[in-house]
Structure 1
Amino acid sequence: MRFSSNGSKSLSVLLSAVLAWNGGGAAFARAEQAEEPCLLLKVVSPRIPETTAREKMDPLPELLAETLRVRWIPAGLPRHAPGEDADTLPEPDAAALDELSGILADASRLMDAMETGEAALRLAEAESFSRRYRFGEAVRPFLAETFFRQGILFLWDGNSAECVERFARSRALRPGFSPDPALYSPTVQEAWTRAAERPVRPAELLVQSIPPGAEIYLEGNLAGTTPGRIQPDGIGPVRILVAKEGYLPEERVGQWLPGDSGLMEITLAADPASGLPDLLASDPGGEGAGRRLREISTRAGANRIAVLLFDVQEGKETLRVLSMGRGDRTAAVLGEMAWPEGEDGIEQVARKAAEMLASAGWPAKTAVTREKRPWYHTWWLWVVLVGVAAGVAAAGSGGGGGDSGSSSGTVGVIF
């Protein structure tokens, strides 16, 4: 049997309309939430004190993002050497550990047979293989065993100094280990004891750059200038940043063991933003400034670039707003405003700048994202429930019969 009535038909129409509106609204909200990757350059005249510049310019990216549908992206990220990120130093898997064990077992067999030349080659292979992976708990015992056996080979060859150095490196990686007197000769035991009295030197790295005189940062801390030697602490990946004014910073990620020494040579590339403030001050809409801005925008991967030029004109602080889209040859000067007095001066400037950018085609937020609310605060749900009640009431009062059925969620750059 199927039941039908005018109330049920009205309910189905109402329900369809409400669900369609809600689904469309959700899709519209998702579309509104898409943000364009854009770049904001804050250029400050040298006539502006640094404290004033930071006080007035630092809040602008966040204030602009309240009105514009943008995501500010960094302009000058450090460049990474290919294949030298921390993610390229993985932990070894079971197959790698099995292969490493096989290499060391082969080296041990060759040493027992006094085939020292072949054994040295296999130990060098084991060290090289281990350095492909992060110096974690899985790899350190293999490196310690490699250095220990290399020390024995040096001892057999009469090079006691090199033997003690290798033993010291093995001790640093495996502090609790001691050679078994039943397996190793007294000369090995004596050299192992002497290694305990000679702490292994820290890893040392010589960093050179072209041009020289760049600052060296080790894990974010200033460690010297190029050419210079640094000592990475600990065992594991570290980040080294080389930076010089007028050049793009370069970053390297590497790992070194106690006793290691190495050379790092870096060639710095010129920064397209160098000299940009002078270009913008003299000819903001010229092709020279446009070319620089285009290089910066392309490198950052931005769809658009905005420039806020903070300067002093005739004794008054002014802000000039420029905009440049992808493919444009020059930057468009959107306008210039005097910096208002008063506590709300920053908000006024941000509002006017956002209006200028929106007029130039920048995406503006046209709707506020609705906060998630409990299901019982959803208005259309109550409309449906009321409609259901009305339909049931109409069905009860109607006399018709029939078949039954069923009805069924900036980073800104300050120069």
Structure 2
Amino acid sequence: MPGRMACLVLAALNFGWDVPAASGAERPRTVLLVLPRDPGSDHGAALVYRVIEDVLRQSQGYDYQSIDSAGAAADHTPEQVRALVATARQAYDELELKTAIRHLEQALKLAEDNPVSAVDGAEYRWAMTLLGASYHLLGESARGHKMFLRLLSIEPAARLDPTLFPPALTRAFDDAVAAARRLATGTLDIQPSPPGTEVWVDLAFRGVGPMQLALPEGRHLIRLQRRGFQPFGMQRDVLAGAEEVIRQTLSPLPGSPAVSSRAAALLTASDDEVPPPARELLERASARRLFWFQVAVSGSRLSLSGRLYAPEIRRPVPFPEQVFDMSQEQWQRQLEAVFSSFSADLGGRTLAGIDTPTPGPGSSDAARPPPQERKTSRKPWYATWWFWAASGGVAAGAIGLVLGLTLTQGGGSPRSGDVVFRF
């Protein structure tokens, strides 16, 4: 049996068979749907969608894709910005400051010329940080101060890490922090349609519209987005003491009504099978995982339940109902922790046997099949693995002995430079 087990393990490693403890499995393509149970739950559903999507995007177990990506134009701006910033960082580390500045300026211009693009906000702010530092190190203090001030106008809590930047730069940044506190503010009253539209300012999620925001004077990037609709982006100059109203209606994406109707059909679906609408949604997105949730909001009470659908299982994996108090500051962190725990083991692992019912406390043992006795193999002694292993060892020893005698006796005295085998 040990020899047979070794062969099976080797075969699994070589041919990728599905073994229970397999690691490094391919990340399954995954999509997400979050539905409000009623119109009053739109706001809560949008917040839940944002939290769960962030978890899936950052997860190492899933290849997350928006279910609307099939109907939307490809957005290559984020990866272009990321590549420019990476090249600039390498040049900065090598003190090729002019090269770093050129790439960072290109990255910022690309992001700001495409406000509708979902560029990573952290990447955007890091580009500003490096650009301000590069200006200062090149002796262009005024431009460096202006860039730091611009960064602080969109991220007032930004600070330089003293372990990455020299004291002269941290002092220059502190001067910009003091100047940023004196910046005047203006107000944007953002009223998007449909309800539940996400509001992003300077590539950071700020909430769900309608909403009013007090922003430091200067130019800001505004992006409005909602699943099933074409996102909208713009640049806006905020003036000190002024208030501006932004009303914008988003246009539906091609195919989104079909997605919405199939998603709504799952509201009344049974937990006993993976229904046709779920399989159609998985096929449409070429996905292996579909997380589907419904949200109901009553006052500050948010109720969340859902299912995980996959093509290889007969029944969905249920997400038990969870209740959150939206008046609590940390409720979204709690949701993040709950979903992370639920999804952690459902990514790269096989789900083929997960829908096998587990007998409950009241189940009868009479329905269980009787345990089978373990069959033992009664092979003759000459057919066992240990006999052939021992025989091989004896044969190898005999060959070595014969070879040694031949070299030492049959060939006479060894000549200088000969290799002599002795046993």
Bigger radius of gyration among the two: 1
Q: Which has the higher contact order (CA 8 A, sep 6+)?
A: 1
For the superposition of Structure 1 and Structure 2, which TM-score range results when normalised by the shorter chain?
A: 0.3 to 0.5
What TM-score does the superposition give when structure 1 sets the normalisation length?
0.34
TM-score normalised by L of structure 2: 0.33
